[in-house]
Amino acid sequence: MILKSDLIEEFKRIGIKKGDNLLIHSSLSKFKGFIVGGAQVFTDALLEVIGEEGTLVVPIQFSTNSEPSLFENPPVDFADIKKVRENIPFFDKNNNESFYMGVVVENIRRRKNVVISNHPTFAFAAIGKYSSVLCNNHSFDFGFGDNSPLKRIYDLNFKNILFGVNYDNATIFHLAEKRSGTCPIYVDGSNIKLNGDKIFFNRLEVESDTDLFLEIGLTLEKLNLVKKEVIAECEIKIFNSKPAVDIFQKYLEDRFKIYML
């Protein structure tokens, strides 16, 4: 059994402090024993530790509001693509469902003081000092690029904390993919509401390779840029945004140069 008071004590022990800015990814099922109050108490404890001067942000990712010809799990039959595209609900950040993002994300996005960015697929939800700074003016094209919350998270050098998940879940690495200029670009799209009508609007995105996130995570560990902790048998990784993005961006650029030789 894990109480809110236990979480507060443990969060402080692993180095989370008042005024911290955090981008988190979490799997509460990795904690041994149940957290009394679940995601609500987990989030309350984090917010209490960082205080009003801190910021807590999570990616939401409304993955079903995207181009159905790209769906893989399950794939859409070619004959049904048009029908599926027409029937996807338009973007509504308060009611669209996120998938595979976890109960903490769902808890945060429902809070009254949350600010959610206006991206139909790659939205972010933030609470705290920099919530509006992060989530305003989220570019429709390249949802993880330089006109997205990730760039502001980078500029403010947020701490990334992975609670029970691995580096392939670390959203911050997507910024390096876009900035490197080495990754393929593809056409995606989403249903949005414009002048009262639902339209499917195409946008550009960068193709991602999350297997490389695992590689760069191990590189950061070798450079002693990752702090590893454990709470109730849940493995935790903590690292700063700027060095993570800079190192991964250089890795991608150097890798591309080798391929071009």
| Omega prior to 74 cis, within 30 of 0 | yes
Instruction: Check residue 259 and give its pLDDT.
Output: 60
Instruction: Check residue 152 and give its pLDDT.
Output: 97
Angle at 63 between CA 60 and CA 69, to 5 degrees: 165
- Sequence-distant (6+) residues with CB within 8 A of 162 are 24, 25, 26, 169, 170, 236, 237, 238
| CA distance linking residue 256 with residue 181, whole number of Å | 9
Q: How many CB atoms lie within 10 A of CB 3?
A: 13
- Return the beta strands (E) in 72-225 as ranges: 115-116, 124-128, 159-163, 185-194, 197-206
Instruction: Check residue 258 and give its pLDDT.
Output: 66
Considering just the CA atoms, what is the radius of gyration of the chain in Å?
19
Give the burial class of 112: count Cβ atoms within 10 A of its Cβ; 0-12 exposed, 13-18 middle, 19 or more buried: exposed
Instruction: Check residue 97 and give its pLDDT.
Output: 79
DSSP string, 89-114: PPP-TTTSPP-SS-HHHHHHHTSTT-
Instruction: Check residue 194 and give its pLDDT.
Output: 84
- Which helix or strand (DSSP H or E) is residue 235 part of? strand 234-240
In a structure prediction context, what are the per-residue pLDDT tens digits for the chain, which is 261 residues long? 999 999 999 999 999 999 999 999 999 999 998 899 999 999 999 999 999 999 999 999 887 888 888 888 888 999 998 998 989 888 888 888 787 788 999 999 999 999 999 999 999 999 999 999 999 999 999 999 999 999 999 999 999 999 999 999 999 999 999 999 999 999 999 988 888 888 898 999 999 999 999 999 999 999 999 999 999 999 999 999 999 999 999 999 998 766 655
Decide if 122 contacts 61 (C-beta within 8 A): yes
| CA distance linking residue 122 with residue 59, whole number of Å | 7
**Domain residue limits, the chain:** 4-260
Instruction: Check residue 173 and give its pLDDT.
Output: 98
What spatial distance separates the first Cα and last Cα of the chain, rounded to whole Å? Answer: 57
Instruction: Check residue 206 and give its pLDDT.
Output: 95
Instruction: Check residue 155 and give its pLDDT.
Output: 98
Decide if 180 contacts 212 (C-beta within 8 A): no
Instruction: Check residue 196 and give its pLDDT.
Output: 83
| CA distance linking residue 79 with residue 77, whole number of Å | 5
Instruction: Check residue 96 and give its pLDDT.
Output: 82
